[in-house]
Structure 1
């Protein structure tokens, strides 16, 4: 369990450090955490062409409270009550249209039916279509997707 927690923390730290800030409005439905650290929003460059807007939703399911790390409309880390959901409208700009813009969520642990702790379940939806999940918490990888 300790190795799993350390792996999640390491991946979360790497994702947060490598993530891009960006402009987008968020909808905090179900967001019950204390505070969120938001990344700086990038100023659009003159002449930068914008791609089509997409509605992106991050979800973490389970019971109880847990720590999550995410990269959506900025980077954040929160202690949340599950289930948790965050939605933002994102339009990739400039180089993001070719290489993609990483959106991700790293869920913490939640209590399973047998009382044991396990990785919480996470999913990413783009325009209502599921594009990433962690197989109901069975995978030790975070949910991530490159939005183009």
Structure 2
């Protein structure tokens, strides 16, 4: 009985502590969030623009070959997943900034399956080109790995 009561009290105390601990900036509305401590407001603003530095713009071209339709997932400026008609090409302009200049950004394309010459499903062929130079491929669909490349300045 003592163990049950002690456990119940411990759980109740933990629940009170958890619900009482909130992020005052998150819980507050826009007006209250701006009244948060100066260090909190400054760190929130600094997070988005680390140094303001920007790298050179890059043209990234994602390609998936084959015929018919396939699901394709690609990651450039943001993540995308959709059913496309093959062959398929998507071009994005990307410019690294802030911390991305130091660590880079991974761009990738994951092709869906297409029917091979033997009638079996296989990954569709994919390539990635950066500024006109091919930087990744899946060996015409022979590799099951996606096409990916670490974009750096």
Q: Residue 107 of structure 1 aligns with which residue?
A: 111
Q: Residue 52 of structure 1 aligns with which residue?
A: 56
Q: Distance in 2 between matches of 1:56 and 1:95?
A: 20
Of the three residues 93, 99, 105, the one matched with 2:97 is 93
Q: How many residues align?
A: 106
Q: Residue 140 of structure 2 aligns with which residue?
A: 136
Bigger CA radius of gyration: 2
Work out whether residues 71 and 82 of structure 2, in 8 Å CA contact, stay in contact via their aligned partners in 1. Answer: yes
Q: How does the TM-score come out when normalised to structure 2?
A: 0.66
1:63: how far off? 1.2
Q: Deviations over 1:63-109 (max 9, x none)?
A: 11111111012101001110011001111111111211111000010
Q: Which runs of 5+ in 2 are unaligned?
A: 1-46
Q: Distance in 2 between matches of 1:123 and 1:93?
A: 25
Q: Deviations over 1:105-145 (max 9, x none)?
A: 00010122232211100000000100000010011100001
1:119 aligns with 2:149: no
Q: Which runs of 5+ in 1 are unaligned?
A: 1-42
Greater RCO, 1 or 2 (C-alpha within 8 Å, sep 6+): 1
Work out whether residues 64 and 111 of structure 1, in 8 Å CA contact, stay in contact via their aligned partners in 2. Answer: no
1:67 aligns with 2:71: yes
Over the aligned positions, Cα root-mean-square deviation in angstroms equals 1.5
Q: Distance in 1 between matches of 2:135 and 2:87?
A: 19
Q: How does the TM-score come out when normalised to structure 1?
A: 0.68
Work out whether residues 125 and 132 of structure 1, in 8 Å CA contact, stay in contact via their aligned partners in 2. Answer: yes
